[in-house]
C-alpha cells in the first residue's frame, strides 16, 4: 500500500502534508503535489494534514489512475521538503469538481509556455496599449480553445499552446509594423 494525491489538490496545493512527511516523498508541480509511490513508507501521517482531503491510500477503489499519475509526475517534478504559502485563490477552488479536466498542468510544458509569453511581452513592451490588450485577449481565448480534450496527451497539448503563442507573436509584430 502507498498513498496518492488526487484531484482535490489541483489549484489548492496546501503543503501542510509536506511538513510532516518523514521521508520527503512529495513532489511539486505547477498547481498540485504528488507522492512518489516507491518512496512512500505508508505511515499515513500526511493524510489527516490535508485540508481538502486530497491524500488517499491507493487501496481505495478507483484510484488506479491517480497512482499512475503520481508515479509519472513524481519522476518529472522537483522534490518539495518544506511547507510553502498556499495559492491566494485556493479557497475558491476547494470544493470544485472535475478539476483535473479543467486545470491540470503537467509542469514542464507550462514553464516553456510561460517563457514564450514573457519573451513576447518583453518584445512588445514598446507597442501601443491597444495592441497589448488585443494580444492578451487573443492569447487567453486561444489557450482556452486549443487544449485537446484528451488530457493524457500532455506534450501535444502544450505544443499547441506554444504554436498559438508564436502565431500571436507574429500577429502583434504585424500590428506594430502597421502603426
Spans of all domains in the chain = 3-103, 108-178
Banded pLDDT at 150 (limits 50, 70, 90): very low
Contact 142, 166 (CB under 8 A): no
* 169 pLDDT above the threshold of 90: no
Check: CB of residue 58 under 8 Å from CB of residue 2. yes
What would the mean pLDDT of 20-31 be, rounded to a whole number? 93
User: What is the model's pTM?
Assistant: 0.61
Is residue 169 within 8 A of residue 139, CB to CB? The reply is no
Other CB atoms within 10 A of residue 163 CB: 13
Cα distance between residue 32 and residue 60, in whole Å: 20
Q: Is the pLDDT of residue 80 over 90?
A: yes
Report helix, strand or coil for 94: coil
If one compares 133 and 6, the residue with the highest pLDDT of the two is 6
List, for residues 85-115, the tens digit of each pLDDT value: 988 888 989 888 888 888 886 654 455 455 5
Whether CATH 3.30.70.20 fits 3-103? yes
Q: How far apart are CA 80 and CA 87, in angstroms?
A: 16
Cα(179)–Cα(167) distance, integer angstroms? 19
Read off the DSSP letter of residue 173.
Answer: H
Q: Cα–Cα distance between 34 and 12 in angstroms, integer? A: 13
Confidence of residue 19 (pLDDT cuts 50, 70, 90): very high
Contact 161, 120 (CB under 8 A): no
Amino acid at each position: 500500500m502507498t498513498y496518492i494525491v488526487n484531484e482535490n489538490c489541483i489549484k489548492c496545493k496546501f503543503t501542510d502534508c509536506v511538513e510532516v512527511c518523514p521521508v520527503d516523498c512529495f513532489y511539486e508541480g505547477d498547481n498540485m503535489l504528488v507522492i512518489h509511490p516507491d518512496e512512500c513508507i505508508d505511515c499515513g501521517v500526511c493524510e489527516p494534514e490535508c485540508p481538502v482531503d486530497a491524500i488517499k491510500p491507493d487501496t481505495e477503489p478507483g484510484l488506479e489512475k491517480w497512482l499512475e499519475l503520481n508515479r509519472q509526475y513524481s519522476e518529472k517534478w522537483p522534490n518539495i521538503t518544506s511547507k510553502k504559502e498556499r495559492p491566494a485563490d485556493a479557497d475558491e477552488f476547494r470544493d470544485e469538481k472535475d478539476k483535473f479536466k479543467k486545470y491540470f498542468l503537467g509542469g514542464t510544458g507550462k514553464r516553456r509556455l510561460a517563457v514564450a509569453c514573457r519573451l513576447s511581452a518583453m518584445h512588445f513592451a514598446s507597442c501601443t496599449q491597444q495592441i497589448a490588450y488585443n494580444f492578451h485577449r487573443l492569447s487567453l481565448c486561444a489557450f482556452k480553445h486549443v487544449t485537446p480534450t484528451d488530457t493524457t496527451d500532455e506534450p501535444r497539448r502544450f505544443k499547441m499552446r506554444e504554436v498559438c503563442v508564436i502565431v500571436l507573436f507574429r500577429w502583434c509584430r504585424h500590428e506594430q509594423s502597421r502603426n
